[in-house]
Amino acid sequence: MTTKQDYPIMLVDDEVDILNTFELQLNFGGYHNIIRQEDSREILPLLAEIEADVILLDLAMPHLSGQELLPQLTEQYPEIPVIIVTGQSRLEVAIDCMKNGAFDYLVKPVENMRLVTAVRRAVELRDLSRENKALKQRVLSKTIEHPQAFSSIITTNPAMFSCFQYMEAVAPSPEPVLITGETGVGKELIAKAIHALSNRQGPFVAVNVAGLDDTQFADTLFGHKKGAFTGADTQRRGMISEASGGTLFLDEIGDMSLPSQIKLLRLIQEKEYLPLGADVPQMTDARILTATNCDLKELDESGKFRRDLYYRLRTHHVNVPPLRERLDDLPLLLEHFLEKAAEKLDKKKPTPPRELIDLLSTYHFPGNVRELEAMVIDAVSKHQSGTLSMQTFREQLVAATDQKSQPQTAQAANQQNIFSGLDVLPSLKENSYHLITEAMRRAKGNQTIAAQLLGISQPALSKRLKTMMP
């Protein structure tokens, strides 16, 4: 097993044999940066010079016992988890140590996996503490240190920049990241940015798990041995192996079957997997990123998604805001997609009319950035010369609005009826006034766009506006 480790694990025990045994166990578990110390009096001066991930501390030692040293450690270095490893199994001693801030309490002799598991949990806690500290610093500084990692994401929106700061803080972590957001917001671009920021040497490997049954999921991710099943004439490595040293991105995880969810949970927790037809588990050091447009918490409550997997996946969580919440990005995105479409279609980039942004700002974009790009490609493909026509955009917006207002059930219609809860209904004149005023506000004074929002002609709107004038 290989384990990411930047800071040493400190072993404090006056018995050399115990130090040898613990070091061997930790080496087997993937931890090789070890500092051994037989004299407990040297620990505090040593910590003043170097930073440690975890301290394993014996209690019964000459000169300065572990019970005396523990409160000093937790007071001066509260961020470092201290695991007590001792031959004393008395309950009152264990309780006293936990009260003094010990992270865990192990009684000698300690099983290999018990020791490694305790250290792994402590290291994860330490990493999270560092990440939270880095995140706070980033948020306070309001700066992005690696703008090149976000070059493919077109935005000037403050909410998106907050996402970028968070991504920079958690990118070095080996823990999973859950990326949520509506269809078309660019979740894979976010995943690629996190991979770029992580400085991992391995590749970025993306897998869409939607529609994969349990066997297909296992074969795609974990691979198979030759002869594992009928038709398995050659060995398949699997995507997790392809992502070795890098990042495995699993998209649409809300559609995973429950058996596949169990396999993914084991992969994340144990860092191991079993190829089909194999008897010996394989280890992985790939970082897991996942994405979904589903509400996993809602799926958990309905029994369709495992709760333990949900909380494991969202150790870090990036929620990408929809386009309708960052309409300030429309001018930049429009320019970018016009240039991209013109290049793809081998045309000169058209000039958009000034009113186009006002028109697009009135739309809710259920398909988000991807829908906007499709609109632009369609418009550029029909464009001949001069200023880009707004007609194509108007037609698409009208079609989307008409589709949205298809007949609904009586119950659904009643739930969306803004008047259903009113005791006194407003007059038609009052309704007309407020509706027209809101349409003009959204259209930024453009009567053509406002008329389209209201479903009437521009002359009809102009006539109504005149009657509203004092």
- Segments making up each domain of the chain, as ranges: 9-132, 142-321, 324-404, 426-470
Buried-exposed string 208-241: b where 16+ CB fall within 10 A, e elsewhere = ebeebeeeebbbbbbbbeeebeeeeeeebebbbb
Q: Tokens standing for 374?
A: 């499709």
If pLDDT is split at 50, 70 and 90, which confidence band does 1 have? very low
pLDDT at 416: 58
CA angle 24, 105, 116 (to 5 degrees): 30
pLDDT at 148: 92
167 Cβ contact partners less than 8 Å away, ≥ 6 residues apart: 190, 193, 194, 197, 318
If pLDDT is split at 50, 70 and 90, which confidence band does 413 have? very low
Query: Are the CB atoms for 217 and 263 separated by under 8 Å?
Result: yes
pLDDT at 221: 95
Return the CATH number of 9-132, one of 3.40.50.2020, 3.40.50.10800, 3.40.50.720, 3.40.50.2300: 3.40.50.2300
If pLDDT is split at 50, 70 and 90, which confidence band does 294 have? very high
Q: What is the mean pLDDT of residues 135-157?
A: 80
Q: What is the mean pLDDT of residues 424-428?
A: 76
Can you list the alpha helix ranges (DSSP code H) found in 271-367? Answer: 296-301, 307-313, 330-344, 355-361
The structure's pTM equals 0.66
CATH number of the structural domain 142-321: 3.40.50.300
pLDDT (tens digit per residue) in 225-273:
988 888 888 999 999 999 999 999 999 999 999 999 999 999 999 889 9
Return the CATH number of 324-404, one of 3.40.50.970, 1.10.8.60, 3.90.380.10, 3.40.1160.10: 1.10.8.60
Intrachain domains 142-321 and 324-404 with the same fold: no
Query: Are the CB atoms for 219 and 230 separated by under 8 Å?
Result: no
Give whole-number Cα distances, 438 to 356, 393, 445, 453, in Å.
Answer: 19, 21, 10, 10
If pLDDT is split at 50, 70 and 90, which confidence band does 417 have? low
What is the Cα–Cα distance from 307 to 304, expressed in whole angstroms?
Answer: 9
pLDDT (tens digit per residue) in 73-104:
999 999 899 999 998 888 899 999 999 999 99
Architecture of domain 426-470 in this structure:
Orthogonal Bundle (1.10)
What is the Cα–Cα distance from 326 to 218, expressed in whole angstroms?
Answer: 39
Give whole-number Cα distances, 411 to 20, 315, 402, 416, in Å.
Answer: 72, 39, 20, 9
Maximum C-alpha span of the chain:
96
**78 CB neighbour count, 10 Å cutoff:** 11
If pLDDT is split at 50, 70 and 90, which confidence band does 2 have? very low
Residue 458 pLDDT > 60: yes
pLDDT (tens digit per residue) in 15-52:
999 999 999 999 988 899 999 999 999 999 999 999 99
Query: Are the CB atoms for 450 and 461 separated by under 8 Å?
Result: yes
